[in-house]
Each structure stands twice: as C-alpha cells, then as structure tokens.
Amino acid sequence: MTQFFVTTPIYYPNAEPHIGHTYTTIVADVLMRWHAQRGFATWSVSGVDQHGEKMVETAAQRGVPVRQLVEHYAKVFQDTWAALGISPSRFVCTTEPVHVANVQRILKQVHDAGWIEKREYEGRYCVGCERFLTERDLVDGKCRDHEREPELRRETNYFFLMSREFAWLRGEIESGRFEIRPERYRNEALAMLRDESGLGDLSISRPKTRLDWGIELPFDRAHVCYVWFDALISYLTGAGLPDDPRLAARWAVAEHLIAKDILKPHAIFWPIMLKAMGYTTPRRLSVHGYWNVDDRKVSKSLGNMISPLAMRDRYGFEPFRYYLLREMSYGLDSSFSEAAMVERVNADLANNLGNLVSRTLNLVEKVCGGAYPDAGELDPNVLGFLSLDQSLRQTREQVERAFGQLQAHAALAAIFQLSTDLNRLIDGFAPWKLAKEPGGVATAGAVLRVACDGLRAIADLLVPFLPDTAARIAAKLDARPLVRGEPLFPRLELAAD
C-alpha cells in the first residue's frame, strides 16, 4: 500500500492553542483523510516542543516549575485536537524518554563523525524565536515577529558545521529532490543560501549556567542541546525512531507543513542535519502564510489569539474549519474576522448547501413519498446545464488539481459551485410544479434523483474537508424513508462579546 506521511510543527506548550496552530493541524487532518480516502496507508505526527528558554521564561513569569508548565499544556494541546475530532497518529512530547534518547544518540553520532566544533560566539538572541537573529530579522533593532529587542550574548557554544553543505542543499532544492512549495518559499530558501551572511554554522548548545532545561549533550554534560536541534528530530521520533520497521517507508515520503515563520530551520537546518545523520532530505516542505487579526500575526506573545474551542462553542467546529479552509490561499496571509466568518458560513453552508439538502429531501418526501427517487429521462441541457456525469467529472478534476497544490479554498469553491448548480437545476425544473402537471411526477422524480445523486457526490468530495458534515449528508440520504429533518446548518448570528 502506498504510504502517506505528514507532520505539523510541534508547538510551544506555554499557552493554549490558537487559530494559527489550529489551521496547520486542520490542513494536516484534511491531507490524512484525503489520502485515506484514496487508499494510502497514512501516518501523521504532531506534538509539543517542551524545551528551550521560552518555556523557562513563561514558567518563571507564572511562578510554576517549568516541567509542570510544559506537561500541563502538552495535555491541553492533545486534548484540544481530540475535542475537535483530530487525532495525529503520533503526538510527540520532546521530554519523552524515547525522544531524549534519540536526540542524544544522534548528537553523539554527528559529533563522532566530525560535524560539531566548540567555539566562542557572540550574537543577538530572540527568546520568542528561540534563535540568533541577523540584521534582516530586525526592524528598528527589534525582532520583527516578536517586537522585542534581542539579547546580546557572548558564550561558548558547540557549532554544527552546517555551512559546508550549502552548495549541496542548493542542489537538493534546485533539482526538486527536496520540494519547497509554493514557489515563493522555494525562492526564499534559495535566496537565504545565496546570501550566506545570514546563515553560517549553527550553534546547537547552551551552557547549563545559562539554561539547564534541555537535553544534555552526551559529549559535554555542562551544556544542553539547542531547542531547534532537539525539536526537528521529533519528526523522526514521530516516524518511529529508533525501532519501528515502518520508519524508512514513512521517511521516504515525509511532508512537513509549517507557516513561513519557521522556514529557515526547516528549509536550511533540517535537511543538513538529516544529511549529517545519514537520512535523505524530506520529500516536501509545504509553507503557508499567517492568520492576522487587526493586521498583526496572531501569536501567544502578542496576546491576540483566537481559541478554537471558543469558536467551536460559539459557532460549531466545522463552520470554523470550513471558514479557515475556504478563506486562506495556501502560501498567502489571511485576515480572520468573526463577522466575515459568519457571513461566509451563512452564505455557503446554511443558504447554499444546507438549503439544497433540505429542499431536496422535503421534495422527495412530498413528491416521491420518501423513497429514493428513480432515475428518469431528463435533459438538463434544455436549461443550459451539463449532465450530472459531466459536471461531476469537471468538479472532481478541479478538486484534485486544487488540493494537489494544497489550495483547499479552490477545491471547496469547486464543490460548492456544484451545490449552486444543483440549486439552480431545481429552481429551473421546479419539481413542485411539475408534480402537479399530468405525467409530470416522473420528471419531477428524475430531477430529484439528480439532486440526490449530486448530494451524494458532494458528501463524498467533502469527506476530507468537512468529515462530520459529509457523514450527516450521507446519513440523511441513506435513511428510509427520506425526510426533510433538521437543517444541516442553522444560520449563525455573530456572537456579541
């Protein structure tokens, strides 16, 4: 069976998950369901990044032990995904003994192979980013993402000799062996490699005198491993390192989903780390833009977060999931607004699809006595429509093409276009009138048959995107007798806070 393997970033567990984490995690879930539906053996990894200074900083601010903080939020993240019906095949916590052992074994191996060197270092460190910044990361002397001044640091660090492999990495990216998409991020990664002044070798340790929360270097117990070196390895831990026999098959097709904030560690550090460790580059890196609220990136440090559980409680999870998938063009930034979400959900889910379901079932109940309608002679062409077969073929092609490029918004637009067309078909043939004309019942039934079959196809196409909605539509169509029942989506009202 062909394998599919996708990862989300492992998130920092120092606050509740917000819309940004939720988006990447939803896209991974859509990909999993999409591939499962197409017969792939699927595996996904998510998790939490528990080491590093950011965790120590938050724990100190809250006056709690760091281990307690990261264990608490690890559970919050895991429980949130479960509550939303999303379950990664493997949820990695970086404090897990199996992960710690993997990181230490890899550090030793890479050190023994001559990839690591001890040096004096001076640089400007942003705890928000958990990395040393370069000129290009700064706006008015502050980190552009976290709006805080980085700290000047001078200390002895171990360096991973990454710069030796920049030419090789360029080749991996240019040849497409390591695919970075969309194109703009591939270009950005290549630009980083061209202008090496922003790169150099990678500091991969912190002296315990500064930070003792981390994985000890096996070759120098006075230092802990840099959080990114530890975090990236979680993808291998998640894929089954050290002893899952499926590790190799998974690794061969690994696809990482990230937002553009962490392009550099994934596009530059990680493939070279993998080379040093004796693994191939990941197959693909798929990079999306930011969700902004009030024109600023949503983040914990800026405090303008949108909670997925609050959205679920107010509006239902699938309407929220639909909005995120329908609104963002993968690769570009989007603005979140509750008012726009309510409008979009009412237009597409309640008025378009929801209405199609309820009017179809209502008419089937009335015209066909609740029996699944018989197919009949019907020439939709007379009203300027394609036959159902033709329009389904067209829709399927559009959906495949769009989601093949991770453009869920375009895939959903194509699916909902089919719903619009079916509504127009019903309007055009007016089965409620036909049924009253002599001999018209059979034609009315034939129209409703097209609508029912079309709805089945829509449900099938929606499975990866809106699994619960898809199942509810299918269940309504499978019921005997068919009845109008409850509306699929109630119209939403904007919640007043």
* Residues involved in catalysis: 18, 21, 126, 129, 143, 146, 297, 300
Q: What is the dihedral of CA 185, 186, 191, 197, to 10 degrees?
A: 80
Applying CB under 6 A, the span of 107-115, 182-190, 290-298, 308-316 interacting with ligand MSP comes to 290-298
What the block records as the tokens of 220 is: 């120098």
Shortest spacing between CB 467 and ligand MSP, in angstroms:
21
Which alpha helices (H) appear in 152-284, and where do they start and end?
166-174, 183-194, 227-232, 234-239, 247-251, 263-264, 270-277
Q: Check residue 99 for interaction with ligand MSP (CB under 6 A).
A: no
Shortest spacing between CB 270 and ligand MSP, in angstroms:
8
Say how far apart CA 49 and CA 51 lie, in whole Å. Answer: 6
Q: Check residue 185 for interaction with ligand MSP (CB under 6 A).
A: no
Handedness of CA 441, 446, 448, 452 (dihedral sign): positive
Helix (H, G, I), strand (E, B) or coil at 416: helix
Closer by beta carbon to ligand MSP, 231 or else 268: 231
Beta bridge pairs of residue 90: 45
Q: Check residue 291 for interaction with ligand MSP (CB under 6 A).
A: yes
Burial annotation 27-64 (CB, 10 A radius, 16+ → b, else e): bbbbbbbbbeeeebebbbbbbbbbbbbbbbebbeeeee
Closer by beta carbon to ligand MSP, 50 or else 205: 50
Q: Check residue 273 for interaction with ligand MSP (CB under 6 A).
A: no
Burial of 65 by CB count in 10 Å (0-12 exposed, 13-18 middle, 19+ buried)? Answer: exposed
Contact by Cβ (8 Å): 443, 372: no
Contact by Cβ (8 Å): 4, 253: yes
Q: Which of 452, 260, 299 is nearest to 373 (CA)?
A: 452
Subset of 227-256 contacting ligand MSP (CB under 6 A): 231-232, 234
Which DSSP letter does residue 495 get? P
Site string for ligand MSP, 193-212 (x = CB under 6 A): --------------------
Subset of 6-25 contacting ligand MSP (CB under 6 A): 9-12, 20-21, 23-24
Subset of 299-328 contacting ligand MSP (CB under 6 A): 299
Q: Check residue 216 for interaction with ligand MSP (CB under 6 A).
A: no
Closer by beta carbon to ligand MSP, 19 or else 116: 19
Shortest spacing between CB 282 and ligand MSP, in angstroms:
12
Contact by Cβ (8 Å): 234, 52: no
Subset of 386-445 contacting ligand MSP (CB under 6 A): none
Contact by Cβ (8 Å): 278, 247: no
Number of residue whose CB is nearest ligand MSP: 20
Q: Check residue 258 for interaction with ligand MSP (CB under 6 A).
A: yes
Strands 41-48 and 3-11: parallel
Beta strands of 260-395 (E only): which ranges? 284-288, 291-293, 296-297, 334-335
Q: Check residue 298 for interaction with ligand MSP (CB under 6 A).
A: yes
Closer by beta carbon to ligand MSP, 189 or else 298: 298
What the block records as the tokens of 341 is: 């979400």
Q: Check residue 261 for interaction with ligand MSP (CB under 6 A).
A: yes
Closer by beta carbon to ligand MSP, 291 or else 322: 291
Q: Which helix or strand (DSSP H or E) is residue 59 part of? A: helix 53-62
Applying CB under 6 A, the span of 72-80, 169-177, 296-304, 453-461 interacting with ligand MSP comes to 296-304
Shortest spacing between CB 231 and ligand MSP, in angstroms:
4
Burial of 460 by CB count in 10 Å (0-12 exposed, 13-18 middle, 19+ buried)? Answer: middle
Amino acid occupying residue 339: A
Shortest spacing between CB 180 and ligand MSP, in angstroms:
14
Closer by beta carbon to ligand MSP, 55 or else 173: 55
Closer by beta carbon to ligand MSP, 286 or else 360: 286
Say how far apart CA 306 and CA 266 lie, in whole Å. Answer: 26
In 3-state terms, the chain is what percent helix, strand and coil (to 5)? 50, 15, 30
Q: Check residue 262 for interaction with ligand MSP (CB under 6 A).
A: yes
Q: Check residue 49 for interaction with ligand MSP (CB under 6 A).
A: yes
Side-chain-facing half-sphere of 458: CA atoms under 13 Å: 29
Closer by beta carbon to ligand MSP, 107 or else 353: 107
Shortest spacing between CB 30 and ligand MSP, in angstroms:
14
Closer by beta carbon to ligand MSP, 299 or else 391: 299
Shortest spacing between CB 251 and ligand MSP, in angstroms:
15
Number of C-beta neighbours around residue 86 at 10 A = 23
Applying CB under 6 A, the span of 172-180, 217-225, 257-265, 426-434 interacting with ligand MSP comes to 257-265
Shortest spacing between CB 495 and ligand MSP, in angstroms:
21
Instruction: Please pick, from the candidates 146, 297, 409, 472, the single residue that binds ligand MSP as defined by CB under 6 A.
Output: 297
Shortest spacing between CB 126 and ligand MSP, in angstroms:
12
Q: Say how many residues touch ligand MSP, by CB under 6 A.
A: 21
Closer by beta carbon to ligand MSP, 9 or else 464: 9
Given the rule CB under 6 A, which residues bind ligand MSP? 9-12, 20-21, 23-24, 49, 231-232, 234, 258-259, 261-262, 290-291, 297-299
